[in-house]
Amino acid sequence: MSRVASALAAVLMTVASIPFVAPGTAAAVGLDLTCTPPSSASLLFDPPATNSPQTMALSVSRQYGPCVSATRPDITSGHSSATGTSQGATCLSLLGANAITIPITWNTGETSTLSGNNVSSLSGLALTVVTTGTVTSGVFAGATFVHTIIYPSTNILLCNLGLGTLSALYGQVVLEIITP
């Protein structure tokens, strides 16, 4: 057998030994916890966001559930909330990327701290916020996560165009925690 044929045979045997994974399922291999809608989030602005820079108080509340976990079937729901102040914020401040920490208290009383980076984008009449990172403490520590919120609202577009204000956003959440 020639060298080329031997090399080709070795490559084909290596490829044949790789387990087949259907497209779209690779991320689910280590999926440990999933929380899906009606999981929800609310984001409140005081005063309402405008197209002019101002100081605003922000309040976010997230409800997770139903949740399903492969390793922790007792965890079925959770919640998270935070408040803060933003200086010089506008409606356009909702877009872009930043670091974020999400503390979650589960229905068992245990907690998880998710630390990562989010990217917010506007598509049509919906603001999509995707956060990825690592569970840095508590239940699922060391795992990675994907946290997605979709906030549909005509007020987002109007506010960005300077044609209105934005006092609140309400959306649906999907949380996936993937163990190593």
Domain spans in the chain, listed from the N-terminal domain onward: 26-178
Tokens of 111: 């907690």
Q: Which position has the token pair 């084909």? A: 12
Whether residue 5 is predicted with pLDDT greater than 60 in this model: the reply is no
- Residue 106's pLDDT band, with cuts at 50, 70 and 90, is very high
* CATH code that applies to domain 26-178: 2.40.350
pTM: 0.81
Per residue in 20-60, pLDDT (tens digit) is 233 333 344 589 999 999 999 999 999 999 999 999 999 99
Q: CB under 8 Å to 27, separation ≥6 — which residues?
A: 146, 176, 178
- Residue 15's pLDDT band, with cuts at 50, 70 and 90, is very low
DSSP annotation string for 95-118:
SEEEEEEEEEEETTS-EEEEEEEE
pLDDT for residue 154: 86
